[in-house]
Structure 1
C-alpha cells in the first residue's frame, strides 16, 4: 500500500487524477513562495555586500581625513611657515611688536 502510494507520486498520477486542480493550485502557490523567497534572499545579499563596500569606503575616507589633518597641522607650525617664507626672502622680525595706542578726541577734552 505504501509502495503503491510512492509509485503513484513518482509517476505523477496526483497531477492527472480527479482532484488534480487542487494539487496544481498548491504546486503553483508553493512555486510562487519559493520564487519570492529566492528573490528576497538575493536582495538581502546585495544589501549586505553594499553595506560592506560602504564600510570600507568610510574607513578609507577616515584615514584620508586623518592624514590631511596631520598634514595641515604640520603646515600651521611656525617653523614650517618660517622656512617657507624664508625661501621668498621674508624673515621674522628681530624686535618684538609694540602696541599703538590712539587717544580719541573725547579722552583729551
Structure 2
C-alpha cells in the first residue's frame, strides 16, 4: 500500500513498462473532463439566453399594454371631440337617421 502511494506521487506509474494502459485511462478521463466542462458552459449560455429573452418578452408586453391603453384613450369620444374642436368641427346636435332602401325585383 505504501509503495503504491509512493509510485503515484513519484509518477513511476506513467513511465513503467505497462504505462500505456495508464496513459490511455488518463487521456480518457481528460477527454471526459473537457466534454463535461464544455457541456456546463453550454448550459450556462442557454440559461442566460433564456433569462434575456424573458426580460425582452416582459418589456415587449409592457410596451404593448402601454400602446393599447394610449389607443383606447385616443379613441374615446371626449378625446375625439377635443381634437376636432381645435380644427373647428363639432358633434352634430341632430341625431342620425336610418336610410332604408327597398329593393325592386327585376322582371
TM-score normalised to structure 1 length: 0.90
| 1:5 equivalent in alignment to 2:7 | no
Partner Cα separation in structure 2 for residue 101 and residue 24 of structure 1:
97
TM-superposed CA distance for 1:102, in Å, is: 3.7
- Provide the residue aligned with 2:13 in structure 1: 14
- Provide the residue aligned with 2:34 in structure 1: 35
Partner Cα separation in structure 1 for residue 62 and residue 19 of structure 2:
65
Partner Cα separation in structure 2 for residue 43 and residue 105 of structure 1:
75
Deviations 1:31-71 (A, max 9, x none): 00000000000000000000000000011111111111111
- Provide the residue aligned with 1:57 in structure 2: 56
The gaps in structure 1 that reach 5 residues or longer are: none
TM-superposed CA distance for 1:3, in Å, is: 2.2
Partner Cα separation in structure 2 for residue 18 and residue 55 of structure 1:
58
Aligned structure 1 segments of 4 or more residues deviating by more than 4 angstroms: 103-106
Partner Cα separation in structure 2 for residue 5 and residue 80 of structure 1:
90
- Provide the residue aligned with 2:67 in structure 1: 68
TM-superposed CA distance for 1:100, in Å, is: 2.7
TM-superposed CA distance for 1:80, in Å, is: 0.5
TM-superposed CA distance for 1:98, in Å, is: 1.7
TM-superposed CA distance for 1:97, in Å, is: 1.3
Q: Secondary structure at the match of 1:63?
A: helix
Aligned length in residues: 105
Q: Secondary structure at the match of 1:94?
A: coil
TM-score normalised to structure 2 length: 0.91
Partner Cα separation in structure 1 for residue 50 and residue 82 of structure 2:
46
